[in-house]
Structure 1
Amino acid sequence: MAEVKLLKTWSSHFALRVVWALKLKGVQFDSIEEDLSNKSPLLLQHNPVYKKIPVLVHNGRAISESLVILEYIDETWKQYPLLPDDPYESARARFWAKFSDDKVFPSIWGVFIKQGKEQEEAFAQVFENFSFLEEELKGKKFFGGEKIGYADLALGWIAERVFELEEIGVKVIEKEKFPLVSAWMQEFLKVPVIKESLPPHEKLVTKMRGIREKYLGAAHPE
């Protein structure tokens, strides 16, 4: 057994960040799949506060919350640095990671589960958020520069999920309006470590379709 264990679910983009980080650094780990409808004693033991995945267990000690885990990984394994050495650039990377969770995810989630005026409002928020990302990518291949960094891992779920969303009829991004973000998504998904770690496409589409139907059905009961 490896000294590193990762408690996760197959479809969680928060857990996927951690998978990507470990693989970029070449860290061997045991992946433990959790059923969040029947949480294991191991999960409850290692994350009694939030009772959520992902949880990284390193030498018996647990770390939870995906962005915190990314920083722990970067400080523990020095190969392939995720955060820049420069304090300002490092702070900016953390800013965009927080922006991903505080702004981008809620807006895309709103587009995903809402209809009508509420969905239009969510689309407006998505447009504003992507405009900020487009500006940040000027002159860059990745948010981390010429290679994937901390902010890319935090935002990488966008590249991973927008195509599944399109398959269920939710078009989040137009390439013509956001060419730099679109190019970044393509480049991100080309990286072998990223590509090989993606969840099964059809299985994820099926799950996302079911979630959307559930929300829309609850909003408009017969």
Structure 2
Amino acid sequence: MSKAEVTLLDCWVSPFCMRVKIALEEKGVAYESQAEDLFGGKSELLLTSNPHGKVPVLLHNEKPVSESAIIVAYIDETWTASSFLPPCAYGRAQARFWADYIDKKVFDAGKGICLGKGEEVEVAKKDFIEVIKTLEKTLGDKDFFGGDTFGFVDIIGIAMTSWFPAYEKYGSFKLEDDCPKFSAWIKRSSERESVAKVIPEAEKVLGFMAMFRKMMGVEE
């Protein structure tokens, strides 16, 4: 375990923050979490650490690192035991590609389910399921995206699933019906200590989403 000072500017419900915490847990890195109020007023530290004013921000010896996938890669390169990425260049490139795919596709489609109205929800749900089917095809019969080892793509992806119960509720579907292998991967990954320690209970996320929907005018 490193003795370096590590602080995470955090928001408990953010899947992007969750993936950073999972990466830190996987590496056994001790850290402090500083909660940010993203709705009531962001801290000066956050605003000066990230020009976008977004969490997560990792402060390592007071030096800020922003954007969750970049932070996970930084953690992997800084605490080098048991790398998250494959040993070969091609494998690393593929892992980065699928991590980027998750970032560009999963959250936006899911958000469309939760914040859409009428036909918008059906369109977003169809898009979301197709995205997950693509990931399921890539996963294949492997335990994890990298094979037998929980790695970079798994860390990037499993945090996003913390919002899946909300997508299922507001989209009126069960992902397992369409993507059983991906759902089995969620269950398998969620049993890891690093993940179970970080991912909040589904009911807590659903409570946040109900509040957020009212805030955004989706429901009264």
* TM-score w.r.t. length of structure 2: 0.91
Name the SS for the 2:171 alignment partner: coil
Match runs of 1:58-137 below 5 Å: 58-137=60-139
CA contact (8 A) 2:165 2:206 kept: no
Structure 1: stretches of 5+ with no match in the other structure? none
Match runs of 1:192-211 below 5 Å: 192-211=193-212
1:105-151 deviations in whole A, cap 9, x for unaligned? 11111111112221121122112211211111112111121121111
Q: Provide the residue aligned with 1:44 in structure 2.
A: 47
Q: Which contiguous aligned blocks of 4+ residues in structure 1 show a shift greater than 6 angstroms?
A: none
Name the SS for the 1:31 alignment partner: strand
* Count of aligned pairs between the two proteins: 217
* Change over 3 Å in CA distance of 1:89–1:129 after alignment to 2: same
Structure 2 distance, partners of 1:217, 1:112, is 9
CA contact (8 A) 1:114 1:216 kept: no
* TM-score w.r.t. length of structure 1: 0.90
Moved more, 205-214 or 83-92: 205-214
Name the SS for the 1:57 alignment partner: strand
CA contact (8 A) 1:159 1:186 kept: no
Structure 2 distance, partners of 1:44, 1:113, is 27
CA contact (8 A) 2:7 2:34 kept: yes
CA contact (8 A) 2:9 2:36 kept: yes
Counterpart code for 1:195: A
- How far does residue 97 in structure 1 lie from its aligned partner after superposition? 1.0
Name the SS for the 2:198 alignment partner: coil
Moved more, 14-23 or 201-210: 201-210
Question: Identity, % of aligned pairs?
Answer: 37
RMSD: 1.9
Counterpart code for 1:206: G
Q: Given the alignment, which residue of 16, 20, 23 partners 1:21?
A: 23
